[in-house]
Every structure is written in C-alpha cells, then in structure tokens.
Amino acid sequence: MRHCGVRRAHVRGRSALPFTAMPPPKYTASEIERRWLADLALVGPLQALQSRVIEDHYISASHLRLRKISERAGASAGAGEGTQAKAQPGTLYKLGKKYGKGQDTDQNTQASLTEPVVSIYLTEQEFNTLSALPGTRAVKSRYAVAGGALDIYELPHAGLAIFEIEFPTESAAHSYLPPAFARHEITRDLRYSGYALTQAASAPLTPVCA
C-alpha cells in the first residue's frame, strides 16, 4: 500500500505580500477554490489529457499577475479559466489581481473560501509592454483532471504538482471530497500562492511517498 506524507523544505524570502486595506472594487468576480499537493503516481498517464502551458509574471511590489496561456496541439482552454477563455482559440494574455480570502473569526463556523478577483484580457502587445516591468516568473503545465486543474511546475520548482478546483458555492466547496491523488491540502497556505513560490528557494512542503 502506498503512503504519502510531506517533508518541510528550507524556504527563503517572503511567503506572500500583505494585502492592503483596499476594499475589492465593484466589478470583481468571486472565486471559490480549494487546492492540494498532488501525488502524480496516483494520477495516471497524462499524455492523452487536455493540457496547456501557463506562464505567469508576478509584478514586483504588487498583487498583479500577467498570464500567458498557450494551447497544446489538439487542446482547448479548459479547467480553471472560465467560459470566456474557452471561446478564444490560440494564445491568451491576461492581467489579474486577487484580493485575498475572507477571514472568519467565529470558531463555530467554517472560514470563507471566497476570494474577490479581477481579470482582463490583453493584446500581445499590451502583454509584452507590461512584461517589461520587474517581477518574478513561473511556468507550469495545466491538465484537466477530475473536474479540476492539475498544475505541474517547470519553473521555479520543477515537478511540483498542485491540484485545484473551483466551486459554485461555499457549501459545495466545504463538502467536496478530493480524489485520492490530492494528498495534502494547501488552500490557506500562503506559501503556495503563485507569487510566494517564485520567491522561495525550494517548495515549502515536498511530498514523500513510500
């Protein structure tokens, strides 16, 4: 029987930028999401699965993220990018900002998983212009798996695998039972935000399987 735990790794740098007191603007969308470290040995073959390459540029001293989404041959935009992305073929360019999940101080209730987000689509020229700003970079392959998205990092932590899935409601998120390959939940672990991963010398927790 296969057993997986986690090993803590040495981390340098900040885990995440502190969120300011700025309230979310009027036209944000609500993202309800949970995330886990994934054991790829339990996922199965990935070659035949729908996938794409995601390149992220985290602009320094901000919560802004530039994203380039490149389709692989025969794939279409799928898990995690919404219906608007599905309607647009080829490479997509986006600018986004997340405002942080709510913090529930009542010990008798479950903490909120809802996070306000803003995202706009860019032209390639706009993306290239903004990419000149100082920042840090991440590159990953995203696969549509088990109704969610499986991200396998190429940069900065090659081989790191994270499974995430979005939900229509908080109740659906809290009642969800993850697949067997989702081994260690990191939904509220800020060390695993995309920005924080680009700052860390190594991944905070490394899956250990035997």
- pTM of the predicted model over 0.75: yes
Residue from 54, 82, 77 nearest 166 by CA: 82
Residue 21's pLDDT is 55
In the block, residue with structure tokens 């608007």: 84
The arithmetic mean of pLDDT across residues 166-175, rounded, is 96
Residue 80's pLDDT is 55
Q: Phi first, then psi: what are they for 130, rounded to 5°?
A: -70, -25
Provide the mean pLDDT of the chain.
Answer: 81
Which domains does the chain carry? 4-16+29-209 (2.40.320.10)
| Alpha-carbon gap, residue 60 to 112, rounded angstroms | 28
143 pLDDT above the threshold of 90: yes
Residue 26's pLDDT is 81
Distances (CA, A) of 209 to 4, 9, 136, 156, 192: 4, 15, 30, 22, 20
| Alpha-carbon gap, residue 12 to 80, rounded angstroms | 29
45 or 5, greater pLDDT: 45
